[in-house]
C-alpha cells in the first residue's frame, strides 16, 4: 500500500470495513462527460484500455474504495464492467459501493425504480461486477423526492441486506430527515451528497451530524463544485488558487485537502480517467492545510 495514500487516514465503513479516506469515483471512466455520449464511439477502445490502466494504478496507489453505479455507461462502455475486467479477482480489502433507485435504459434515458424493482437493480450490479454480494449500496434519492419519504424504498433495500445480497446500506442525495427515517429501518453506513467549498449551512450540519453518529460522509463533486457532471470549471475560485500557489499544489488537491479536513469520517471519491490526475488526487492525502488556509476557504 502506498504511504502516500495512507497519509489521508482510514475510516471503518459500517464500523467494520477499513478504507483509505481517498477513494475513487468511477463516473468518468466511460468518457469525458459524466454519462458518456456518442462522441465516445470512435475512441471506445482507447478509453477502455486507459480506464483499465487507471483502475489498476489506483489500487497500486492504495485506493481500496471505489464508487460506481450500473447507470455509469456510455454507448459502448460500462463502468461496472470496466471495474470487473480491470480488477477481478478482486483484492480482499477492496470495497465497492454502488447506487440504486436511479437507472438508465439502453438509450440513456433516466428512470426511477419502484421498491419492488430494487432487487433487479442490485442483481444487475452483482452481475456486472461479478460479485456474490455488494459491499455497500446507496439509495440514490431522486431530485423530485427531496421532501418526500423514502421508507418504502429503504425498507426494500433492508430486506435485500437481510437476504445477504448487500452488506451495508447508505443514502445518496439525501436530507437529514431522510437519514433519520432510514436509520429507524436499518443501519446506515454512509451519506453521499454533493459537497465542497461553499456548501450551504444545512449540508455542513448534516456532515457534522453524520460524524456524531459514526456515519461516513462521502462528498461528490468535491473538485467539480458548481461544474458538477461537466467537471471543474475553467475559472477557479481565487481563494483556492491562492492556497494552491502558497502550498505548491493544484487547485484540485486543495479542494480535496479541504474536504478531508472537514472531519475524520469524511471520505473523498474523486473521479478521473487520466492517470496523471489520479496520482495528483491520491497525493492530496498528504496535503495538510493550515488554520489560516481553512479560514480563507471558508
- Residue with cell string 480491470: 86
101 closest CA partner among 123, 78, 118: 118
Cβ atoms within 10 A of the Cβ of 60, count?
A: 12
- What's the CA gap between 241 and 153, in Å, rounded? 42
Query: Active-site residue 72, yes or no?
Result: yes
- What's the CA gap between 9 and 296, in Å, rounded? 24
188 closest CA partner among 165, 220, 219, 161: 161
Q: Check 24, 71, 72, 220 and give the catalytic one.
A: 72
* Contact between residue 63 and residue 10 where contact means Cβ atoms under 8 Å apart: no
9 closest CA partner among 281, 264, 272, 275: 264
Going from the C-alpha of 224 to that of each of 109, 231, 234, 240, 256, the distances in angstroms are 23, 5, 10, 13, 11
Which residues are part of the catalytic machinery? Answer: 72
Amino acid at each position: 500500500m502506498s504511504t502516500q495514500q495512507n497519509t489521508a487516514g482510514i475510516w471503518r465503513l459500517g464500523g467494520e470495513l477499513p478504507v483509505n479516506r481517498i477513494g475513487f469515483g468511477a463516473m468518468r471512466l466511460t468518457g469525458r462527460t459524466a454519462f458518456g455520449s456518442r462522441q465516445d464511439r470512435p475512441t471506445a477502445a482507447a478509453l477502455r484500455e486507459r480506464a483499465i490502466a487507471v483502475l489498476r494504478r489506483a489500487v497500486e496507489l492504495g485506493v481500496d474504495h471505489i464508487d460506481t453505479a450500473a447507470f455509469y455507461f456510455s454507448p459502448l462502455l460500462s463502468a461496472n464492467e470496466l471495474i470487473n475486467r480491470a480488477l477481478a479477482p478482486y483484492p480482499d480489502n477492496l470495497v465497492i459501493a454502488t447506487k440504486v433507485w436511479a437507472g438508465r435504459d439502453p438509450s440513456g434515458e433516466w428512470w426511477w425504480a419502484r421498491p419492488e424493482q430494487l432487487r433487479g437493480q442490485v442483481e444487475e450490479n452483482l452481475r456486472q461486477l461479478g460479485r456474490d454480494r455488494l459491499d455497500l449500496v446507496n439509495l440514490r434519492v431522486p431530485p423530485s423526492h427531496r421532501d418526500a419519504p423514502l421508507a418504502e424504498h429503504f425498507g426494500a433495500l433492508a430486506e435485500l441486506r437481510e437476504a445477504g445480497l448487500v452488506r451495508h446500506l447508505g443514502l445518496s442525495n439525501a436530507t437529514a430527515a431522510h437519514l433519520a427515517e432510514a436509520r429507524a429501518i436499518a443501519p446506515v453506513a454512509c451519506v453521499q451528497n454533493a459537497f465542497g467549498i461553499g456548501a450551504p449551512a444545512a449540508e455542513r450540519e448534516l456532515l457534522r451530524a453524520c460524524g456524531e453518529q459514526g456515519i461516513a460522509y462521502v462528498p461528490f463533486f468535491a473538485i467539480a463544485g458548481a461544474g458538477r457532471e461537466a467537471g471543474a470549471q475553467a475559472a477557479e475560485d481565487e481563494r483556492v488558487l491562492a492556497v494552491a500557489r502558497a502550498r505548491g499544489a493544484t487547485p484540485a488537491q486543495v479542494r480535496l485537502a479541504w474536504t478531508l479536513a472537514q472531519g475524520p469520517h469524511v471520505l473523498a471519491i474523486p473521479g478521473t480517467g487520466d492517470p496523471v490526475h489520479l496520482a495528483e488526487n491520491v497525493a492530496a492525502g498528504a496535503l495538510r492545510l493550515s488554520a489560516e488556509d481553512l479560514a480563507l476557504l471558508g
